Amino acid sequence: MRGLAYRFLTDARHFQMLAVFLLILILALNGDFGPDWKVLLLTEASVCIFQLLFLRHYNVPKKDLRSAVIAGLSITLLLRTNFLGLYVLAAFLVVATKFWVRFDGKHIFNPSNIAIVLCLLCFSDYAWISPGQWGSSALFGLTAAFIAFVVLTKARTADISLFFLGGWLLLTFGRAFWLGDPMAIPLHQMQNGALLVFAFFMISDPMTIPDHRAGRAVFALATAAIGFILQYEFQVRAGVFYALPIVCMSTPVLDMLFKHQRYQWGKI
């Protein structure tokens, strides 16, 4: 029993699962902004089945579903469509990109992010990202969950979330200052649930970001800058979600420039 508790407490994925599920629960209780429970069950069942099929196909002895469950929760939280089949397709893309698109033992792309982006690009008339206007109680719950996540994981990779949000905040308020807008506008823009989910639970995936802190700083600021340009110069809604796959391709280069010990799950 003590060994089971130790394994639970020393793996950040357990706390991330609890944090994202808590947010989904808060949204569900908060009114019309919560995900459909049918979507949650369908997505989680699909991503777990695909994960097991791929593990069996590639003869992976350890049948671990935790990362797949986290990706399924992120898909449920962020992807919106009226066609349930797209959630199954997104679940397949999550697992397929994990196994097929790798370099030096790491995923090239964040699995849930690339699945969402591919669905948006291929089915732009039927899929969209949650607008993220979830209300103050949800944002409070998200912030509290993040703080707990940072504390419990000893902030091992949470620095990238702070680098990204710092860069995004400077760009957003700088633009408002340049245009002469009232500060209430950028303040409202920062209160976007989808943006915070992206910052706290997507860009921080240790399997797709540089190992060294300096590399993570470059990675985060580049994502913020490209996302900002896409969103405000080219009017691409939720530009950061499109910026992340672009910047993810630089991770092997940043790992070569800034060498550091590879992150391992279960080593808090």
The per-residue pLDDT for range 209-239, each reduced to its tens digit, is 999 999 999 999 999 999 999 999 999 988 9
pTM score: 0.88
Is the separation of the CB atoms in 216 and 260 below 8 Å?
no
Nearest 5°: phi and psi at 81? -160, 155
Identify the pLDDT of residue 189.
81
Return the structure tokens found at 98.
């994990």
Identify the pLDDT of residue 91.
97
Residues of the chain with pLDDT under 70: 1-10, 30-34, 131-156, 263-268
Identify the pLDDT of residue 167.
96
Identify the pLDDT of residue 206.
82
Helix spans in 123-183 (H) = 136-152, 159-179
CA proximity to 153, closest of 5, 255, 266: 266
Return the structure tokens found at 73.
């929760």
The per-residue pLDDT for range 87-116, each reduced to its tens digit, is 999 999 999 999 999 888 888 999 999 999
CA proximity to 77, closest of 158, 150, 10, 145: 145
Identify the pLDDT of residue 201.
82
CA angle, residues 230, 233, 235, in degrees to nearest 5: 65
